[in-house]
Amino acid sequence: MEKVFDHSVKTDVGLVRKANEDAAGYAPSEEVCNNGDLFIVCDGMGGHVGGAIASNTAVQSIIDHFKNGLHENPYIAINDAIVFANEQIFARAQAEPELKGMGTTCTVLLIRGSETFIGHVGDSRIYIQSKNKLHRITKDHSFVQTLVDQGLISDGDAESHPRKNELIKALGIRESVEPEVCSKAIEAVAGDCFMMCSDGLCGLVVDQDMEKVISDSISLDNKADKLIAMAKAAGGHDNITVALVDIQSSPFTSSVFVDFTPKESMSTTGDMSPLAATQEIGGLASDSPSVLPLWKRSGVLVSAAVVAVAIIVLVFFNPFKGSVDEDGVSNIDSTAQELVGPPLENVEEKNCESNYFSVILGEDGFESMSQATDTLHDRAGDSYDTKCLVYEELSGKITQGDEVRLLDKIQLGERVYLDCDCLDSNQSSVIDNTTNNQSNDPINADNKMNGNTDTLSPPPPKVPIGDSIITESSDTINQ
């Protein structure tokens, strides 16, 4: 069968990393049981060895899955191939403790006949350039993307956000993973060009600049080289991988795909409208909702009305009025007590027995050691001493003192707390001299590779971010 595309796949170690933990692969259809032409880009994490093993295992596993027979349904095939890759990486990490914590992002593009199918996990991206305009056709599985989606930060701000490298999905971290696979086939016309890349490229070069390069009248290889050179010129602090697939012939007359390119606007008051980024291109009507100011959104108006009614009820009817017992002592209704919670303003309640000097990583927004220790510092006040820090792993291993803040690999569900006896010896007037009997069960969470915790900003407003967060910081993972 005559090829309907040209392609170029290149990877570079960059200017800072000692090894290349990215991996890319291409398998022509005839080598994978005529399932279609297969392209894969992965960005590994977990150290020089672990990251490279994870990304290369993902590429080979996905190719192997497509080699095991003809898959009639390309959507299911892509999903199952990525799931299979996750199983292989996770199993090896469990069998070899020195590889624990390794993982990888993954993007898959399958050209079957005239149609294209994609799937991904993590923050490596797939774009399509159509009519000289670059469009994102995947959405990052990252913490900052959730903030962008909710209108809390702009897409431009996301690239410089201190938590930009935190993922909510990756291969190899958990026993199971749910890939994101396109809901319908992409119809690309002649002249369209797909680009797959690791964040070593799209994290350093803005979409508009990449768009200009892909529009250049030069060969695909030269375009790939130029994109890599631009990433290096911007610092080159990560490995850089890019795959370009140029569609040369197609039966379609207009391009059809789902576009995740951010569409954002800022009001004069500084309120950022949420994104309306999903639309179909190529003569089809956009299903993107109109972006409305905050005060015009029906959900916000309903919420405001509910709050107003609640305030009126509390002021005029007060369902939580205390009753008086036989001894004339006022008793607070148990429902009201649950809603109000313990009076934290009372210093005597801020003690170890109330778990006030203990946090569980992954609960209540604590996703980094920096957040946990900074919070404990705020709670303990003048009595805080880093020598009193204790980090309790799920395995039972204990780390104490100044070393706790220096830990570069932590796991969500593990506990950080202040030793009460230690604090008491420093300033016994602040808390009771008791041992913290933590009763919270650790959550069943992912491994987390923590980044440069000393430079993380205070946590943003809490948002639903999926199961957990994995940090792939260059300071600790050397990706």
DSSP symbols for 38-58: EEEEEEEESHHHHHHHHHHHH
Distance (Å, rounded) from C-alpha 45 to C-alpha 173? 10
Nearest alpha carbon to residue 50 among 94, 81, 84: 94
Per-residue tokens: 95: 């069998």
pLDDT higher for 267 or 343? 343
State mean pLDDT over 208-221.
Answer: 97
Amino acid at 130: S
DSSP secondary structure, 227-293, as one string: HHHHHHHTT--S-EEEEEEEE---S-SS-B-EE------B-TTSPBPPP---EE-SSSPP-PPPP--
Instruction: Specify the higher pLDDT residue, 5 or 411.
Output: 5
Select the more confidently predicted residue: 38 or 474: 38
418 in any annotated domain: yes
Token pair 């005597």: residue: 348
- 17, 148: one domain: yes
- 28 in a structural domain: yes
pLDDT > 90 fraction of the chain, expressed in percent and rounded: 51
* pLDDT band of 103, cuts 50, 70, 90: very high
Shared domain check, 284 and 423: no
Cα–Cα dist 310/319, whole Å: 11
User: Binning pLDDT at 50, 70 and 90, where does residue 374 land?
Assistant: confident
Domains held by the chain: number? 2
Q: What is d(CA 15, CA 44) in angstroms, rounded to the nearest whole number?
A: 17
Ranges of beta strands (E only) in 169-215 are 180-181, 186-187, 193-197
Residue 384, number of CB atoms within 10 A of its CB: 19
Could you give the C-alpha distances from 358 to 372, 374, 389, 407, 469, in angstroms and in order? 9, 12, 10, 17, 20
> Closest by alpha carbon to 29, among 88, 109, 105?
109
Question: Which structural domain range is residue 415 located in?
Answer: 351-471
For all residues of the chain together, what is the average pLDDT?
74
Q: What is the spatial distance between Cα 418 and Cα 426, in angstroms, rounded to a whole number?
A: 12
Q: What is the pLDDT of residue 48?
A: 76
Place of tokens 């993902």: 58
Residue 317 included in any domain? no
Q: For the residues 138-149, what does the mean pLDDT come to?
A: 95
Mean per-residue pLDDT, 332-345? 32
- pLDDT value of position 267: 28
Residues near 233 by beta carbon (within 8 Å), at least 6 away in sequence: none
Whether 310 is covered by a domain: the verdict is no
| Amino acid identity for residue 29 in this structure | S
Higher pLDDT among residues 111 and 299, named by residue: 111
Q: Which of 263, 289, 315 marks a domain boundary?
A: 289
Q: Do the domain assignments include residue 296?
A: no
Which of 274, 289, 304 marks a domain boundary? 289
In a domain, 342, yes or no: no
Domain end (from 240, 266, 289):
289
What CATH number does the domain containing 62 carry?
3.60.40.10
